Amino acid sequence: MAHSVGRGNGLGRRTAACLFAMMALLILGSGVGCVPEGRLNTVERLDRGLVVVLPGIEGPSVWNRALVLGLDEGGVDCAIRRHEWGTPVPGGFLINLTDIERNRREADRLRDELVAYMTAYPGRPVQLVGHSGGAGIALMVTERMPADAPVTAVFLLAASVSPGYDLRPALARTSGEILNCYSELDAILLGPGTMIAGTIDRAHSVSAGKVGFQQRPTASPLDHRDVAVLRQEAWTPSMAKLGNDGGHFGWTDERFVRKWLAPKLCRHLGRRHR
């Protein structure tokens, strides 16, 4: 059945109003949220591994600041970097969403930085954490990695990526796991929002951050290794007790990240979370 937002339909008007409100929230939340870059990128921490946090299309914000701090507080004691892949133009989140060629160039740039890190610190774990549009960039980076330099793990939070996105190239460049965290309650930005404005991979559909990833009908079956590497976790009501309300930004709640997400990254570092 085709999805539409009718101009004269009350539900359509409410959906449009919600979208405008969410866009206003993105503008208000962006450009703020400094993180202690120096303390989180010491030589000692770099020697333990690297975690790169990829923000959503809003750029630096209170949400990805909470994500970085929650990881640190949760015992992720390696280097943690917030990579600002979007355009520095104020309010440029629509450019960040729609300019796929620019996003591919940014993915190439981060790929080169990761390869340089792996050369300087061989054998250390490298993990990517992408929220919303940043999840799409995380996949672009991963699938561009050299065959002999895979990332360790990729964590996708509320991914603004189409459910049919072919994950096999990224899975082939991941030595550990790709974890997709999604929520049916993310009903505005990753529902009508990406149906109208599109996903990072430029599909006009609901997003995998709402319904999970699905194998494309035209794709050949995933091999056994791929099935073992890809994991998907849906939001559950129990997560609300940790601060994740199931909405678009719930996955970045500082307490939730500290208690639920950080232990998953610590596992790849061989550490216990705090």
pLDDT at residue 38, rounded to an integer: 85
* Contacts with 139 (C-beta within 8 Å, 6 or more apart), sequence order: 130, 154, 156, 161, 165, 167, 170
- Each residue of 130-153: pLDDT tens digit? 999 999 999 999 999 999 999 999
Range 161-168 average pLDDT? 96
Between 177 and 88, name the one with better pLDDT: 177
* Every domain of the chain and the residues it spans: 38-269
- Each residue of 84-122: pLDDT tens digit? 999 877 778 889 999 999 999 999 999 999 999 999 999
pLDDT at residue 89, rounded to an integer: 76
Range 192-198 average pLDDT? 94
Model confidence at 228: pLDDT above 50: no
Split at pLDDT 50, 70, 90, the class of 7 is very low
Chain-centroid distance, C-alpha 61: 14
CATH class for domain 38-269?
alpha beta
pLDDT at residue 99, rounded to an integer: 95
Percent of the chain's residues with pLDDT above 90: 75
Q: What is the spatial distance between Cα 219 and Cα 210, in angstroms, rounded to a whole number?
A: 22
Q: What is the spatial distance between Cα 195 and Cα 230, in angstroms, rounded to a whole number?
A: 25
Strand partners, 155: 129, 179
